[in-house]
Amino acid sequence: MAIDASTAEQRSPPASLLSQLVRKPSQEQIILLITLALLVVFSITLPGFSNLANLLNLVRSISILGILGLGMGLIVISRGIDLSEVAIMAGSWSVALIEIQRGTPVFWAVIVALVIAVLIGVANGVMVAFVEAPPLFVTLAAGFVIYGAAFWYAPSWVVYAPKPEDAPYLAYLGHDYLFGVPMPIFVFALAAVAMHLFLSRTSTGRFIYSQGDNPEAARLTGVALRPLIVLEYVVVALLAWLAGLVWIGTTGSMQMGIVQGTYIFDVILVVVLGGISLVGGRGGVFSVVVGCALIGTLFNAFTIMDINSEVQNIIKGVVLLSAIVLDNWLHPRDEETARQGE
């Protein structure tokens, strides 16, 4: 007996419905659920963890990391990387603080830090876009050059900023409060909203995703990749400058030692952990936010439990490897290859 085609079509669920039913959760969703679970567990087991003051301190502690993560996330989405971001932050502001100590007005010292950061961003972008050098090695070398030059100009591991009462505008974003909430939280939130609008609502943002997804296809469709790459590294430098401004207000100084530490790997960790793929073209601001939330929750709990830094580094390494495995499970390599047209 023949079966009418329309009847068979009605009996078979639509392919899109089946795909939705078996669809894997996104990495952002998994990390968010893990973070919520840890918040509940730590609130029950750790005294003082769930206090409002501690939770505000938790969010404040990840604000600078989050601002840097927004820049790193942008460059990773475009299929690049910038290992000099922390060096840009520390180097530009170390020079600016030395200038303030030498009598330069605070306003012009801030402009000096901004100009240095932008020039480094332009140099990184030109090397990657026009010289076509690998971004990993370009930015790694840039980090060494920045560190050496800044330490030669300001030969001190710690360069102190003026007291908040002497330079209130310099310290405002990192030191003050608004409605009882630390200002670094507002800075991170505003930067995240601005980055989200930039990536999702502008043609340049769409070009960045196209570049990360398939650079050759983006070029063939008319995207000017070389100026776009320079712009991306300038945006990273601007966010590094902003993070440095918040850092100075929070700590009252700039520590050159962070350039040689693991802080840049913390930035990469929150980006990869949140779901921004190292092969480019996927992820967004929410990825950075959930990655920061998980890392901030763990760090805050580690502080309360008084876990030493060596054990924390081991845990961070395990978390990073787990994030890479999770990314490969959610997006198998053959799927990535087919998606990128390679």
Residue 5 pLDDT > 50, yes or no? no
Residue 306 falls in which region: left (phi positive, over 0), alpha (psi -120 to 50) or beta: left
pLDDT at 319: 80
Contacts of 19 (CB under 8 A, 6+ apart): none
Task: Mention every residue, 6+ apart, whose C-beta is less than 8 A from residue 284.
Answer: 73, 77, 196, 199, 200, 276
Q: What is the average per-residue pLDDT within 106-135?
A: 94
The pTM of this model reads 0.87
Contact 87, 97 (CB under 8 A): no
Residue 152 parent element (H or E): helix 135-153
> Rounded to whole angstroms, how far apart are CA atoms 174 and 216?
42
* Coil vs helix vs strand at 339: helix
Per the CB < 8 A criterion, the answer to whether 175 and 247 are in contact is no
DSSP string, 76-99: HHTT---TTHHHHHHHHHHHHHHH
pLDDT at 22: 52
pLDDT per residue over 172-223, tens digit each? 888 888 888 899 999 999 999 999 999 999 999 999 999 988 888 888 888 8
- Other beta carbons less than 10 A from residue 273's beta carbon: 29
State the DSSP code for 48: T
